[in-house]
Amino acid sequence: MKVAFGLLLLWLSQMIAPAQSPLDRLERIELFGHTYVRLGDWAKTYHFEIAWPPQSKDVYLTNRSNHLVLTIDSRKAELNRVTVWLSVPIAQHNGVLYLSPLDLKSMIHPVFYPPKTAAGAKIKTICLDPGHGGKDPGNNGGRTQEKSCTLLLAKEVRSLLNKAGFKVLLTRNTDSFVEKLDRPDIANRNHADLFVSLHYNSAEAGGNGARGVETYCLTPPSARSTNTRGEVGDTRIAPGNIQDTRNALLAYRIQRTLINKLPLEDRGVKRARFAVLRTATMPAVLIECGFMSDPAEAKRIFDPAFRTRTAQAIVEGLLAYKRMVEQ
Ligand SMILES: [Zn+2]
């Protein structure tokens, strides 16, 4: 009877306090209005060597498989030579460095320690979302409109994915207008395993002289988006937040192949609460494949051979993600 009661207590305690990960056990410190852990504590737990050159703002962390570069007072980080944007800047206080556990959980760990899908679950169906369409032309480069470039790219990606054995859905096949919220809905209704929205950028959104590629995933609750103001402390949970760790890994893998395979500047993995990302219940990303406002980049965007290379890089990123998460 006593044993049974003891087991019941043990079971209850496990129900109430689920097993903590080593990251959960690191001491939390409140500093400059943010919650941090000591960089040294994290590095020791996960076996990273820290190199912090004198007078340098950059800190280098290395272990057998991964390399991380952090910059003091900055949200910009480099994970295995790919730029990602953190939610909270790296802090320094009395010679000690701090980083946010939220960034560790939602960006750095998903990339370094990829989350696995349920045993046997396979990625078979991919929903591609060519941005804009119909009455919404999107950005433009001269007389060419974003909506036609995204559709051409989506069709190219579709044909490569079909060849690789995937089932592919498009949120639009023609120059038609589709409401933003209908796009992830199409993916949800058809049980797509991944959602990829395709766009081209313009300097109005990115600053003068801007060029390069950036990949967005949904901002985790309470975290700060990369691209917007006024949503600091937004704690609402969107349906897409169920995939936070996979969203980050998918965005990272696609950004990585795009910058490695194409002569495009790395603007990094970013976070936004875009309508198309909020309600997709499968891992979802939005890729800005280059700037139509930059003359040299626009020339490449309109070049069919470059479009094929872009599509190939996106497919390679998707395949890399699939290899990492499937058991
Ligand atoms: Zn767009």
* Per-residue pLDDT band at 14 (split at 50, 70, 90): very low
**Residues, Cβ < 5 Å to ion ligand 1:** 131, 138, 199
Contact at 8 Å (CB) between 74 and 57? Answer: yes
- Res. 249: pLDDT tops 80: yes
Rounded average pLDDT over 135-147: 91
pLDDT at residue number 142: 81
Percent of the chain with pLDDT over 70: 91
DSSP E strand stretches across the chain: 29-31, 34-38, 49-51, 58-62, 67-71, 76-79, 82-85, 91-93, 96-99, 125-130, 140-141, 144-145, 167-170, 194-201, 213-218, 266-272, 284-291
pLDDT at residue number 1: 46
Predicted model pTM:
0.92
Q: How far is the CA of 111 from the centre of ligand 1 (A)?
A: 26
Q: How far is the CA of 288 from the centre of ligand 1 (A)?
A: 7
Q: Alpha helix locations (H) across 125-265?
A: 146-163, 182-189, 203-206, 244-261
- 30-67 tens-digit pLDDT: 999 999 999 999 999 999 999 999 999 999 999 999 99
* Per-residue pLDDT band at 189 (split at 50, 70, 90): very high
Q: How far is the CA of 60 from the centre of ligand 1 (A)?
A: 35
- 173-184 tens-digit pLDDT: 999 999 999 999
Q: How far is the CA of 145 from the centre of ligand 1 (A)?
A: 10
For every residue of 289-319, DSSP letters joined together read EEETTSHHHHHHHT-HHHHHHHHHHHHHHHH
Q: How far is the CA of 89 from the centre of ligand 1 (A)?
A: 28
Rounded average pLDDT over 258-263: 97
Q: How far is the CA of 195 from the centre of ligand 1 (A)?
A: 16
Question: Residue 133, SS3?
Answer: strand
